[in-house]
Amino acid sequence: MNFDKYILIGLLSTSLASMANEKHDWENPHVLGINKLPYHVTLGLPSEDGKRSDVVSLNGDWKFFWSPDPDSRPVGFEAEGYDVSDWNDIAVPGSWQMQNFGKPIYINIAYPFQRNRPSVTSEPPQDWYAYDHRNPVGSYVTEFEVTPDMLDKNITLSFEGVKSAMYVWVNGEKVGYSQNSMSPAEFDITSFVRKGKNRLAVEVYRWSDGSYLEDQDMWRLSGIFRPVSLVVRPNVHIADFKVDSNLNEDFSKASVKATVSLCNTGNKKEKDATVTFEIDGKKIKSSPVDVMPGDTVDIRLEYNIDKPLLWSAETPDLYPYIISLNDKAGNLLQNYNWHLGVKKVETDGEIFKINGKNVKLRGVNRHDHHPRTGRWVDDATIERDIRMMKQANINFLRTSHYPDRPILYELCDRYGIYVMDEACQESHGYGYANEEMGHDPEWRDAHVDRAVSLVSRDRNHPCVIIWSLGNEGGVGPNIQAMYDTIVAMDSSRLPFYDCNPRYSALHDEGYPTPEVMRRNAREISDKPYIAREYSHAMGNSVGNLMEYWDVIYSDPSIAGAAIWDWVDQGIAKPIDGSPLRPSSSLSLGNDEFWAYGGDFGDRPNDANFCINGLIGPDRVPNPHFYVVRQVYQPIWFERDGDWVKLTNHDSFTPLDAYDYRYEILTGGDKTDEGLLTLENNKVKIPDYTKDNTGVWLNVYACLKDSKLWAEKGHVVASDQFELVPYQSSKASSSGKAPKVTRKNGKIFVKSDDCEVTIDESGALASWKKGGTELLYAPLEPYFWKPTNDNQSKNGYYTEKMSIWEEVASNRTVKDIKTDKKDGSVLVRARMSLPIGADYDLVYSIDCNGRINVAADYKPLNDTIPLIPKFGMRMRLPKDMRQVDYLGRGPWENYPDRKHGYYIGHYSMPLTEYQHDYIKPQDNGNRCDVHYLSLISDDGDKSIRIEADENPLCIRAWDYGEEDLKTANHPHELKRGEFVNVNIDQTVHGVGGVDTWGQPTLDQYTIPGNAPHSYSFTLSAE
């Protein structure tokens, strides 16, 4: 069946029926388009659009009028005599809300208008934005020039994306209508244009009945958000082409078939036209064909490739080809450049394979998002995204939850990224796997239209390995129709759907825990298992990622998993409330902040639930980006005696494709480096000095040659191994013990130039060096850790653990005793915690002013809840803003997010040590800290914290925990009064499953019903 023709006829017939009933087209599910041309592949490589003489860009500033509802729109503005000179200018492409017309709305599941399909103008609650803005309308006007040589050709008006529905007029005449926001809409305007200036008018509706299938978790924006152009072609032209390859069983031969559709839009017969398919240095020419006026002819050409280079994400080998059309005299009428990737995607029982290999999909989900232009993402930013993905060892991209711009697919073809291409179909507002939308026959054509548009446009891209029917939508006959359509149109890729495996070649499970993934993947035996969404990366997150991939690599039936998601969907908003500043810049100004749901007064909204990316809106990596880079790396390293064993998790790249180098760190600083030789999948550990303290080996696998996505020498995989444990310096006191006095319940310990005060609560209340106070607030027990997003949303942390917020301040001191030992003063405070535990705190202060602090916790019952953190807190003067430490870094890391953060000696300002999440929350921790110094801005003062037997977790901020609890954005934090320092044995993990219910994995929590102890030493200079 010719699906393009089928859809076009259906659209026209249902459109005429709709008009007869005088319904709004945009509230009628039967009207999907009026006078739209059939969907087809992207004609010509997207990267060459700017070089093509047949493409005339209409991008730029258009005249624009925004109306809050359809009744207030400027009726008749499309007329040639209608004066729009006093209208505003608007950039096309672009989202109108990002240009200060109307409000952006961020919402996840619910519809932003009253749910009452197919109506989008029913009355919603009065506090909703849609109450006073019942389907806003944007009226656009621009002009374009038609030259004399264009008049005898076919002229097509092409919109790459308009949200949500639009009417189009040329020179005052109505051309047509379209919805299906994320797919192209094209109109033949040959009969509407004239020589010279022509007027183009477009009326865009914010919502339409199509919005019921566009209920994705993202900012709800609208307008002409993708490029607009004229395509000027001969009347007889290439309207579509499809190039497929089939491999034989041993992949030694590929048969290539090209199907080229010629269309005659003129009124004359084209005699003896020929098509040439040029590939692999060969030209395959068709027999001459006649193309009658108004007819479309399909021409099929074949070619065989011996020993073909196979396309994969690891080896993105492409065969460039040219499709050409010539007339009877041999004159070139038209040609298109494209490329072929020869590959085979299949399931073999429960095994997912590419080119015969069991490939693992190391994935991420990506929304189109730019912090200043919204749904319009320019080429440079898209390429930046793809390059960063490759550098993070991501090999799989899901276009959640709609087709992206064509340039993204070309980049994935060239860079090497597998793509799950997703139809724009989500009706989550009716519920996950709902029957309302899946069974309603009124919506069948709308569902199928989105399947046809997806496959029709992107079927020539080698990167596409899976066609997704959509996300979190319906189940039933409408989805079955989508499935049948996709399978009939293209069986070379796998169909996929998350809501029910009956419509999918893979069994999906969203957000399983690692253990649930292990169990369910074993139980499912009829098809491969995939987690199309997992590891919800909201805020400070992506814990326990290695646990997932231990499971994935241990089970060949698991195809892979894709993190939700790639980029934080923040919008750059001026703090003073002034208008947004649309531009191509990704950077945030000093007077701006990253806005999320509700920051525009948008109702309803889901607050910061759109802030869940591996990178920020400015494309700067979040700290959890680096754990993904590490866990997703294709080579894993393991110590094997005097060797390091390498395990290759790639399928088409051998280990000897990389150069291997090493670094030796002593005390955290590099003391040696060099090259390593690969021998039997191992590298030998180089010689090192074994009598040093703290020796680590870093091993790196590096690119031998430059790639599109990285330069020669780029580190693809690495790991760190401890060769000699670090021994803390335990300086003994050889002088006379300090003097001890007691007064008013306080203990004063004084040496030559240091004075320490322990108050009646057992806290280190004062610490003076040379008469200068070093503390802003006491060092004291502290068990509370501010929540991160994973913890604040699941109820588990706040309801079960919030009692710990006041445990330390409500402690009871049983007694405080002093003693002298080995030239030091010992102060022991015995305490009782109201949670039901004993707590001892021992200070040992020597004559040099060094203070050793030892804490010991003993529970008195087995019903005590988990502890957010086990440790202490102090506050230092505000000028102690330089950090120098030996521990994991340089980026923030946590007990369940350590991979990829290597132990080393790092120095940085406090502003880099802490991390400002878009929604303030716990941050900045460093694990395995052997020592950390906080140094004053002028370098005259420093306080050193040194672990004793076991390394520490340390966080430091220029604000307090109480500010994190109340601030909604970083600029609201009350900074600069002090430096807040938490010194902990360990902290509760960040969690890494989801942000709406799952707790942190047990092994990364701190049991309250078990004993705990730790110690560290403070010193000052």
Tell me, what amino acid is at 863? Answer: T
Asked whether 247 and 253 are in contact (CB, 8 A), the reply is: yes
- Positive or negative, the Cα torsion across 759, 763, 765, 766? positive
Catalytic-labelled residue, pool 27, 533, 547, 755: 533
Q: Which helix (H) or strand (E) covers residue 962, if one does? A: helix 961-966
Instruction: Compute CA distances 1005 → 593, 788, 860, whole Å.
Output: 33, 14, 19
DSSP sequence for 633-650: -SEEEEEETTEEEEEE--
C-alpha–C-alpha distance, residues 621 and 616, integer Å: 6
Whose CA is closest to 792, among 623, 970, 919, 895?
A: 919
Active-site residue flag, 799: no
Here the tokens at position 321 are 């080809």
Task: Please confirm, yes or no, whether 472 is among the known catalytic residues.
Answer: yes
Residue type, 819: D
The residues with which 934 forms a beta bridge, in sequence order, are 883, 943
Instruction: Determine the 3-state secondary structure of 1018 from DSSP.
Output: strand
Give the Cα separation of 691 and 687 in Å (integer).
12
Contact 610, 217 (CB under 8 A): yes
Listed residue (775, 778, 733) closest to 752, CA to CA: 733
CA 616 to chain centre: 9
CB 1005 within 8 A of CB 990: no
Contact call for residues 175 and 192 (beta carbons, < 8 A): yes
Q: How many CB atoms lie within 10 A of CB 164?
A: 23
Do residues 877 and 934 lie in contact, with contact meaning Cβ atoms separated by under 8 Å?
Answer: no
* Whether the Cβ atoms of residue 190 and residue 269 lie closer than 8 Å to each other: no
Nearby residues of 392 by Cβ (< 8 Å), 6 or more positions away: 614, 625, 628, 629, 632
Which member of 472, 663, 755, 780 is catalytic? 472
Helix or strand (DSSP H, E) at 63: strand 60-67
> For residue 903, what is the DSSP state?
E
Rounded to whole angstroms, the Cα distance separating 527 from 557 reads: 8
- In the numeric block, the tokens 């193309």 are attached to 291
Element (H, E) at 720: strand 715-724
**DSSP-assigned states of every residue in 610-672:** G---SB-TTSPBPTTHHHHHHHT-SEEEEEETTEEEEEE--SS--GGGEEEEEEEEETTEEEE
Q: Which sequence positions are flagged as catalytic? A: 472, 533
